[in-house]
């Protein structure tokens, strides 16, 4: 009996695809996905530093709140020093909870992408009508504050239902970031067309590594450097996307920040004419224009 399949894309070995290049003949596209998240006090979901006990879980709420109050500003200064563009993945309720944070990335000229309403909830567990309503509510807020609809979406907690790609495409999104199945963009079929899956990392992502696997900042920084060296060499044979996913309440902590600074400075120093520092949205735009 055949295994159940999602039906969104066929199998395709990366070694057997048409060759292409990023702008100006570059081969490795590097982007930083900066998660700008807020959480409900005394209820809902949230990453945990340690067992905080019954609600209200002050320990873990305050730890996460440190990211927006302190950590993110440390990271913005680093992005400025190294001249690194960012894709800001924004919970729409950040406009009420910490509007200055989103404004700082807007002022840098960074891409603003959708990331649900908050990270106190998942969208994939909702009925289709309710999920569509969540997407519509978040999209309206981002569009109103930014003056344009976001092109891309990352679900809170990488949560998708069986209809999420359909709902996003129907809501006007060009690309999604939830699927970590490839190192190149992949077209996904939807019920009314198609949507582009832009690679988003779950290995070079501080939550799975630090919260999930209990690695620390030095190890995470080494992973970033090792991945860059392998992918830069491999990009001579095929174009690739390397993403780095960050959260301010993790990598904005001083003891981890010094290692993030070390890793990103190394990448910037070792970048040459093969490397395109960019955003997920620009990767989407370029790949679409190729007509592949």
What are the domain boundaries of the chain?
25-41+54-290
Averaged pLDDT for residues 205-232: 97
CB 70 within 8 A of CB 57: no
Residue 134: both structure tokens together? 């969540």
Contacts of 223-227 with CB under 8 Å at 24 or more apart are: 224/263, 224/264, 224/267, 225/263, 225/266, 225/267, 227/203
pLDDT for 104: 98
Averaged pLDDT for residues 217-238: 98
The CATH architecture one would assign to domain 25-41+54-290 is Alpha-Beta Barrel (3.20)
Backbone φ and ψ of 218, nearest 5°: -65, -45
Q: Above 90 in pLDDT, residue 53?
A: no
Query: Is residue 52 very low, low, confident or very high in pLDDT (cuts 50, 70, 90)?
Result: confident
pLDDT for 198: 98
Q: Above 90 in pLDDT, residue 213?
A: yes
CA distance 247 to 263: 16
Averaged pLDDT for residues 45-52: 91
Q: Above 90 in pLDDT, residue 187?
A: yes
Backbone φ and ψ of 90, nearest 5°: -110, 120
Averaged pLDDT for residues 193-219: 97
pLDDT for 70: 98
- Say which residues have a Cβ less than 8 Å from residue 208's Cβ, sequence separation at least 6: 202
Q: Above 90 in pLDDT, residue 195?
A: yes
With 0-12 / 13-18 / 19 or more C-beta atoms within 10 angstroms meaning exposed / middle / buried, residue 44 is: middle
CB 113 within 8 A of CB 143: no
How much is the mean pLDDT over the chain? Answer: 97
Averaged pLDDT for residues 264-279: 98
Segment 252-268, tens digit of pLDDT: 999 999 999 999 999 99
Segment 106-165, tens digit of pLDDT: 999 999 999 999 999 999 999 999 999 999 999 999 999 999 999 999 999 999 999 999
CA distance 265 to 78: 9
Segment 136-148, tens digit of pLDDT: 999 999 999 999 9
CA distance 163 to 116: 15
pTM beyond cutoff 0.95: yes
Backbone φ and ψ of 216, nearest 5°: -115, 180
Backbone φ and ψ of 175, nearest 5°: -145, 160
Segment 64-85, tens digit of pLDDT: 999 999 999 999 999 999 999 9
């Amino acid at each position: 009996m055949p295994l159940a399949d999602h039906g969104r894309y066929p199998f395709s070995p990366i070694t057997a695809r048409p060759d292409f290049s990023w702008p100006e003949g570059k081969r490795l596209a590097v982007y930083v996905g900066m998660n700008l998240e807020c959480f409900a006090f005394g209820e809902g979901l949230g990453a945990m530093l340690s067992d905080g006990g019954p609600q209200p879980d002050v320990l873990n709420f305050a730890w996460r709140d440190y990211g927006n109050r302190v950590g993110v500003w440390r990271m913005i200064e680093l992005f400025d020093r190294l001249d690194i563009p960012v894709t800001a993945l924004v919970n729409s309720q950040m406009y009420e909870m910490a509007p200055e944070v989103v404004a700082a990335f807007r002022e840098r000229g960074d891409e603003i992408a959708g990331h649900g309403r908050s990270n106190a909830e998942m969208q994939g567990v909702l009925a289709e009508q309710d999920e569509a309503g969540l997407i519509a509510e978040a999209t309206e807020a981002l569009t109103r504050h930014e003056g344009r609809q976001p092109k891309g979406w990352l679900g809170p907690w990488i949560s998708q239902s069986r209809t999420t790609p359909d709902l996003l495409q129907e809501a006007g999104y060009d690309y999604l970031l939830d699927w970590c199945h490839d190192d190149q963009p992949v077209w996904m079929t939807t019920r009314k067309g198609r949507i582009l899956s832009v690679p988003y990392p779950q290995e070079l992502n501080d939550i799975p590594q630090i919260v999930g696997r209990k690695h620390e900042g030095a190890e995470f920084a080494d992973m970033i450097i090792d991945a860059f060296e392998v992918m830069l060499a491999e990009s001579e044979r095929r174009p690739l996307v390397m993403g780095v996913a960050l959260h301010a309440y993790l990598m904005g902590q001083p003891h981890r920040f010094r290692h993030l600074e070390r890793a990103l400075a190394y990448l910037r120093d070792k970048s040459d004419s093969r490397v395109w520092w960019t955003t997920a949205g620009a990767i989407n735009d370029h790949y679409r224009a190729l007509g592949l």
